[in-house]
Structure 1
């Protein structure tokens, strides 16, 4: 049995080759469906593959820039809150100074001790 050959007629050989071609097509379609990519390798379409690869890298770069900009915005918001708090403290100090100054007397003795 180890040396037995299978003989195929030409029509059977043609049908077998067609079935193998159909099987290859099915495998490619399943790969497209599973990955969501129309072109998965450079063999599927070199121009489109490398264009898509470049666009994917560009999208990654833009996403990283967006994250960095988000961090910068958060930093600016925190700085704005800090400056607003300092401004509020200055206004409170101004109010306390005005209140203390108005509590001083206006007679000659109070004015002399200032």
Structure 2
């Protein structure tokens, strides 16, 4: 985990997506979301391997991005510090998180807010 020096937290987003965590998101240490839709519009190009996730405290978590095909559908699997993030923020199955991206969608930054 890296803490930004200015401790600024972005609250306005260009795109958002609410995701309800399932057991595999927590247990296996990977957040898996469909590529088409939010991910395609809000995340970096498919050639990127890493992104920075910023939580509601302003902490930065380095997350690896891997693309996988399941039943002819492309998904983005986010790993790296994801499991540590879940543990640090006490996320469990059934919690809702809001994923957000600023207007500069090629920045490699994904904002994550714990909704419930």
* TM-score normalised per structure 1: 0.17
More helix by share: 1
* TM-score normalised per structure 2: 0.17
More strand by share: 2
The higher radius of gyration belongs to: 1
